[in-house]
A and B are shown apart, each in its own frame.
Chain A
């Protein structure tokens, strides 16, 4: 398949592709013992691309509002391969968040948020928050019993904000209870509003990666620049990136086919919550912290305290580039590392604890 030179010349000239080619030629990726962690941002991106494609496919048959459950039942049981598309959307969502967490912690411990990459860090944290809201809003859409109670419980969190909390929760719910109005607006959020917020942030995030290139971990910083190993981005690193994408695709395909996502009984406000109900793993730590706080401090104050602590933690996480700014950070670098280990520890311990509590 040879593309005629005339056509390539036309495209290169009119679209200014030569600048992009020159950039691709020049771009290198550092090679050291932590190079493996450079793949996780790309894996997260790939999972997001799968979400867009499968999401659009689901949108073809999904009917928000009073018909929501029935339409998901049709997708799962009537439409050819509907179960596969739905299952893929669910599993890729989990892979997306998992790889985003891995990506975030690896960036954190490599201290890749330091000058000049602060905006990369900030846009990344915002992307993760939007990603979690994606997960929360998408969870309601099938309107089975789990969706219903997860949303009911989840909306207690904004509800516990002093003064304005109930108003916010009611606006999310479109009423004082979770109803078909809730599904309709969650769908608007999930399929229109969040993508509109996510995509510009993502473009910004990816632009910054190209602008500043890959950060190297502290140990590598000590190696003189001329002694550092690199590999060309194109085609070497890109080929490896694509290999990772292929592995990710295979993992998602295997999970989706062997563990198809189930559909519970239809949401019913008059039925008790199913036994052993617990949030998805990415909300487990928050859920467990709230539960523990509620036991330490009885009643409403406990929830408010849990919320406050959590918000404070996220805020500290967000502003870490302003605290540990550059290679000369010394003592601050150490503190940041300990804070990261603490955060990782808290997340892991409370997640495991949460699962142990519902088992």
Chain B
């Protein structure tokens, strides 16, 4: 139990008898900041500060969670490991299909040589949605002219700094499953 000590005051002696040996100290003694027991005033200050902080948290936390709700939902959606695309196995050669992987638009491309590729369709430059160009057999971004390889997702020309993320594709009868490569 910490000992309280009265700050120097002109209150009558013994007005606040505390259970400590400092009671016998003359009141005129200047207060030293370094004293081990703490003053009543200091204690009250800390207590008020603590109560204010507690109220701040009690009010602030629900408001934060309330505002953050859609963010949490989106993060949960973005965390999906795989997507099953019904009937995507019927995609004609040389064409692409746009689908949602979590929250991201993504491309499923069925190449002429019967290979399947799935890529993230968010441009690594500034986040526009890219498109598959069937004539040039390339993935292009209309915003700043970025070009990607349609088989590897490699950034070929233009401003994109990184390749597009590649997914793993599994083709079954009746559906295509796209999953994270990691």
Bound pair: A and B?
yes
Q: Within 8 Å of chain B (Cβ to Cβ): is A60?
A: yes
- The stretch of A81-89, A159-167, A283-291 in contact with B is A81-89
Q: Within 8 Å of chain A (Cβ to Cβ): is B65?
A: yes
Q: Which residue of the partner chain, among B55, B62, B72, contacts A85 with CB atoms under 8 Å?
A: B62
Interface residues on A, range: 10 to 19
| Nearest-Cβ distance from residue A217 to partner chain B, whole angstroms | 34
Q: Which of A52-101 contact B (CB under 8 A)?
A: 57, 60, 78-82, 84-85
Q: Which of B62-88 contact A (CB under 8 A)?
A: 62-63, 65-69, 72
B residues in contact with A82, CB < 8 Å: 66, 69
- Contact in complex: A60, B62 (CB < 8 Å): no
| Nearest-Cβ distance from residue A111 to partner chain B, whole angstroms | 38
A residues in contact with B68, CB < 8 Å: 80
A residues in contact with B72, CB < 8 Å: 80
B residues in contact with A78, CB < 8 Å: 69
A residues in contact with B55, CB < 8 Å: 249
| Nearest-Cβ distance from residue A182 to partner chain B, whole angstroms | 27
In the bound complex, CA of A82 to CA of B68 (Å): 11
In the bound complex, CA of A60 to CA of B63 (Å): 12
B residues in contact with A80, CB < 8 Å: 62, 65-66, 68-69, 72
| Nearest-Cβ distance from residue B41 to partner chain A, whole angstroms | 15
In the bound complex, CA of A60 to CA of B69 (Å): 11
In the bound complex, CA of A255 to CA of B62 (Å): 16
- Contact bitstring B126-157, A, C-beta under 8 A = 1, else 0: 00000000000000000000000000000000
Q: Which of B27-76 contact A (CB under 8 A)?
A: 55, 62-63, 65-69, 72
Interface residues of B (CB under 8 A from A): 55, 62-63, 65-69, 72
Interface residues of A (CB under 8 A from B): 57, 60, 78-82, 84-85, 249
List, sorted by A's number, 5 A–B pairs whose CB atoms are closer than 8 Å.
A60-B67, A79-B66, A80-B66, A84-B62, A84-B66
